[in-house]
Amino acid sequence: MPDRLQASGGFDSYVPMNLLTWLTAQAAGLGLETDMSPKQAGGVDKDADPNADPTVAPYGMPPHPANEAYAKCMAAVLMKTIGMNLSSITTSENFQWAAVQIRDYFGYHFGEPIHAPYKPNVPKFLLPPEQRVTPVIVPAAFRYRMGLLELAIPNQACAVVRNLDWLTEVFHLGPAEQKVLLWTYVVNCQMPPVIEGVMSEIQFCNEPQAYAALSLLLDEPESEVAKCFAAPCRLRGMRLIDSHPWRYPLTLDSFFQSTENLTDVLEVVHYSRSGMLQRLSELSLYWSMLPDAGVPNEQLYRWFKPAMAEACIATVNDQPLKAAHIAELVWWLIGYRLPAEQYEPLAGNIDFVTIQKTIQSCCMVRSQRDQAVTQLAVMQALYAAVQ
């Protein structure tokens, strides 16, 4: 940790700072920046264990109160937004159960007691007949009450806001992509996962219907929302999200699946934009979508399509990947569906993690240059990785 850091947000000279002072200044939005050496990725203090491997996470950075407070406020904003649009984005049958959860979430705002179900998290059809009581909430009255909510204004002086702004600037993200990252982070950092529970109640028949609903929640055009998830999905390619619009059943929470990378890169106090990018690149060294070695093969076949399941099985068993496996992995990671024959020269010469890191690097580099992530660019990167 440098003994002296230059403060650019109200200070004109170098001032001595310890780690606590510097973190406090970061949370206060002073915009401190300094050059970062490769071993200082993500805010690693030089007084830490000298034998620690800087490429192995987590670094042990505890959640910052400013980040937690911001996420809590934004969770309420998101829940209110869903409530205001609930009758427009879900069926009348699913409306009631989602509305109950939202009503109970804001119960303290209205001074009402929370009505706990007989058996929490048990689907209605599994309950005994006497407990299958459908609540009656009038959509118009519910929306009116949601409109009366006065929520606290989130304090944006935190690492999450600054890092999200940096990601947007460095990768030339659009407003819809920025909002997807923000709401994905908010949904997945809340415990218990109340918002995710509400979203799981909201189902869609197809992707266009889902994009229409997301357009209302994000306040962005449907075409821009579709670009966030359609091939090439660069947010998924960079391992910031793990959302897949082809999940079944297709529910609202399918579009807000996070990765450990997103949480880490947003919450850690970075010295600079280059430090943030360096850490994001390093995180993929240990974070992977690979399952544990003990997962039964039949379970993988239930989770994935055959080619994807076989790719996971081959990797866990240290077997070479076939062309069909590589094609399935590329589709899963970025959404491009190409014939397996195009990957024949790569078969047996590239592994699961290398494919993931190569696609991530390709998406990051081309996004920094404000270039589209084309099929040709992905193929060239994969072939270059085995040379």
pLDDT tens string 182-237: 999 999 988 788 899 899 999 999 999 999 999 999 999 999 999 999 999 999 99
Using pLDDT thresholds of 50, 70 and 90, give the confidence band for residue 67: very high
pLDDT greater at residue 42 or residue 264: 264
Query: What does the pLDDT read at residue 193?
Result: 86
What was the pLDDT predicted at 107?
85
Indicate whether 301 and 283 sit together in one domain: no
Q: Does any domain span residue 49?
A: no
pLDDT, position 17: 42
Region 71-88: mean pLDDT is 95
Top pLDDT among 164 and 313 is at 164
In a domain, 52, yes or no: no
- Is residue 302 very low, low, confident or very high in pLDDT (cuts 50, 70, 90)? confident
Indicate if 201 and 322 belong to the same structural domain: no
Highest mean pLDDT among 105-114, 116-125, 357-366: 357-366
Structural domain includes residue 147: yes
Q: Are residues 145 and 92 in the same domain?
A: yes
Stated pTM of the model: 0.78
Residue 153 domain-assigned?
Answer: yes
User: Is 329 found in the same domain as 252?
Assistant: no
Residues 62 and 137 in one domain: yes
Can you give the pLDDT at residue 34?
36
Query: What digits encode the pLDDT tens for the residues 2-29?
Result: 333 333 333 333 334 444 444 444 444 4
Same domain, 265 and 376: no
Where among 287, 320, 341 does a domain terminate?
Answer: 287
Q: Please tell me the predicted confidence (pLDDT) of residue 63.
A: 74
Query: pLDDT averaged over the chain?
Result: 81
302 in the same domain as 270: no
Same domain, yes or no: 76 and 9: no
* 45 lies in some domain: no
Last residue of a domain, one of 258, 287, 316: 287
Q: Does residue 132 fall inside a structural domain?
A: yes
Tell me the backbone φ, ψ of residue 16, rounded to 5 degrees.
-70, 135
Q: Is residue 245 a part of any domain in this protein?
A: yes
- Shared domain for 314 and 245, answered yes or no, is no
In the chain, the percentage of residues whose pLDDT exceeds 90 is: 56
- Please report whether residue 144 resides in a domain: yes
One domain for residues 279 and 346: no
Q: Are residues 71 and 206 in the same domain?
A: yes
239 and 308 part of one domain: no
Check: CB of residue 26 under 8 Å from CB of residue 275: no
Looking at the 3D structure of the chain, how many domains does it have? Answer: 3
pLDDT at 52: 40
Which residue range is the domain that position 269 belongs to?
57-287
Confidence grade of residue 47 (pLDDT, cut at 50, 70, 90) = very low
